[in-house]
Structure 1
Amino acid sequence: MVASNVDEYIAGFPAETREVLERVRATIREALPEGTEVISYQIPAMRVDSKVVVFFAGWKKHISVYPVPVGDAAYARAIEPYQTGRGTLKFLLDKPIPYELIGRTAALLEAERGGH
């Protein structure tokens, strides 16, 4: 089933994954308070001024955040353990999720876009 909104998308996961996805969602909302949630490419995304800034997705053993912004050296070091592809951050569900890093990622993506 293809979700028509973020609530439906998150509802399709087991309880433990739903909890993480809800916290990721809240973290991104906090980083992008002017954003609007949408489903884009069949996964949750946050749009600001009609442009998608950040995507997140749940998987069986991890959650992912896309794309990866260009950051300073400290940010690059912080994301190193989570960067699995050129534009993907992958957070394993059996390890602590660095929500602050996810919020920082969303804020950097917005800044790259020319937002705040």
Structure 2
Amino acid sequence: MSEIDDYIAAAPEVVRERLVAVRETLLRCVEGGTEAFRYGMPSVMIDARHGLHYATWKKHLALYPIYRGDEAFEAVVGPFRAKTDSVHFPHAKPLPLDVIELIAEVLNARR
């Protein structure tokens, strides 16, 4: 098992499916993306230095770093912003995979 597999396995059962869905979405949307375990979190690397990190917390799943985008991007992503460069998806709500796909596609296109 990899560190990422261990991280997912250690998560509460109700959160595991969400982590797997994020992992699969990021790997599908980031062309040539590779997995890494950085800063104590699973990551899908866009290149050697840049990646999308995801982590689960008690009440939400988070993606880092999500930098500000144009007006159209912020209209979709903005409601999920928790801090300047992170987004939070509460466990109590459905996981918006379409938003995660948009984030991955936009960051992938910027490289």
Fold shared by both chains (TM-score > 0.5):
yes
Q: Is the 8 A contact 1:35 1:48 kept in 2?
A: yes
- Match of residue 54, structure 1, among 35, 48, 52: 52
Q: TM-score, normalised by structure 2?
A: 0.91
Q: Is the 8 A contact 2:46 2:52 kept in 1?
A: no
Deviation at 1:73, TM superposition (A): 1.2
Per the alignment, residue 104 of structure 1 pairs with: 102
Which one-letter code corresponds to 1:26 in the other structure?
A: E
Deviation at 1:79, TM superposition (A): 1.3
Amino-acid identity (%): 34
- Match of residue 95, structure 1, among 93, 96, 104: 93
Q: How far apart, CA to CA, are the structure 2 residues paired with 1:106 and 1:67?
A: 11
Deviation at 1:33, TM superposition (A): 3.9
Count of aligned positions:
111
Q: TM-score, normalised by structure 1?
A: 0.87
Tell me which stretches of 4 or more aligned residues in structure 1 moved more than 2 Å. Answer: 69-72
Q: For structure 1, list consecutive stretches of 5 or more residues without a partner in the other structure.
A: none
Q: How far apart, CA to CA, are the structure 2 residues paired with 1:78 and 1:48?
A: 22
